[in-house]
Structures are given as structure tokens and as C-alpha cells.
Amino acid sequence: MGRKPASYADLEALPPNVVGELIAGELYVSPRPAFPHAVAASRLGIKIGGPFDLGEGGPGGWLILYEPELHLGDDVLVPDVAGWRRERMPVIPRSAAVNLAPDWVCEVLSPSTAGLDRNVKLRVYAREGVSHLWLVDPGKRTLEVLRLEEGRYSLLGLYEGKARVRVEPFEVLEWELAVLWTD
């Protein structure tokens, strides 16, 4: 006899010290991120959000959010940082979750989440047409930049350490990757 698919009620029952996601009827539970992960995600949100969300020293035109709850079909995902072009989301929803796939997602990899982020969630993002995906690894100090092409992600670049980067979809901004690392 098969297992009953997980439901949104299973997500709501989780304690506050974890992050829960539903993908293909399976409940994935991850611990809250450690500080290197949280620092990288927060600093990236600031670095990208200022010029692209707020228009501070940049072009604006985006909504950048930290850990939004995405309802994509029957799946519920919580990326570390995500962004929508304002022309696709001209009005910010009043709900706790959104069912419009982002234009850009950044997943910050942790030892406990790397497999989920690189495999399971990546397939959902591709299915939903998320055009750009970044994978940040604070342990390896790397940024992988991917673009969706014909339903699959292609690697545009792998950057590491203190490299200065200018990467899609925010290529008008050059910045130093070292800003994401804790030391």
C-alpha cells in the first residue's frame, strides 16, 4: 500500500525552526540555514535588491524577495531569494504565497539542501519556466549561473572566491562575489 501524499496541512504542522516544501506529493524538511548560508542569501538580496528592486544606483524594474513561498502547480517551494520582473507582477500580492513563477531564483546550497536544490527543485523551476537560476555555495565560495533554454538549464558561468561578476539577468551591475562570504 502506497504512502499518502503530503499536504499543505503537513507544512503548517512543522515547527518554526525548519523550512518545509512540498514537491511531487513529498514533504521535504530542512533545518533553518546556518550563518554562512543566511549571510550569503541576505547579502545577495541586499546587493541585487537595492539597484533592481528599489532602483538605488540601478535600473529598478524588479521585485526581489527573501524566502518567498511559491505555489507552483501542486508544489510548494521556498527559494532563498527570488525575483519577478515588474511587468510580470505589476501588483504585489497581499497573500502569504504566490503562484506566479519567478523570473530568477537563487538557491544557497547547504550540505543538507544541495541535493534537493540541484535536482528536485531545479526540475520544478524548469517546468515552471524560471528563466534564470543561480546556485550559491558558501562552503566552496562559488556562484553558478544558469539560463533556461528549451526546457533545460545551461551553465552560463561558474565564478569563485573574490571574482568580480556581471551576470544574467542582472548583468548591468558589476559586483564582487566576496561580498557573499562571511570573512
Q: Which amino acid is at 120?
A: V
Residues constituting the chain: 183
92/177 Cα distance (integer angstroms): 29
Contact 118, 109 (CB under 8 A): yes
Q: C-alpha angle 77/95/49, rounded to 5°?
A: 70
Residues 71/98, Cβ–Cβ less than 8 Å: yes
What CATH homologous superfamily does 32-180 map to?
tt1808, chain A (3.90.1570.10)
Report the pLDDT value the prediction gives residue 182, as an integer from 0 to 100.
85
pLDDT of the residue at 1: 52
**Would you state the pLDDT for residue 28?**
95
What percent of the chain has pLDDT above 70? 98
57 against 138, higher pLDDT? 138
In angstroms, rounded to a whole number, what is the distance separating the alpha carbons of residues 118 and 130?
14
| Lowest pLDDT segment from 25-34, 127-136, 142-151 | 25-34
Question: Average pLDDT over the chain, rounded to whole?
Answer: 94
Residue range 81-92: mean pLDDT, rounded: 95
CA–centroid distance for 79 within its chain: 4
Residues 14, 4: Cα–Cα separation, whole Å: 17
Under the banding of pLDDT at 50, 70 and 90, the label for residue 130 is: very high
Residues 6+ apart with CB under 8 A from 155: 144, 145, 146
pTM confidence score: 0.94
Which of the four pLDDT bands, split at 50, 70 and 90, describes residue 142? very high
Confidence grade of residue 112 (pLDDT, cut at 50, 70, 90): confident
pLDDT score of 58: 85
Query: In which band, very low, low, confident or very high, does the pLDDT at 4 lie, cut at 50, 70 and 90?
Result: confident
HEC letters along 75-90: EEECCCEEEEECCCCC
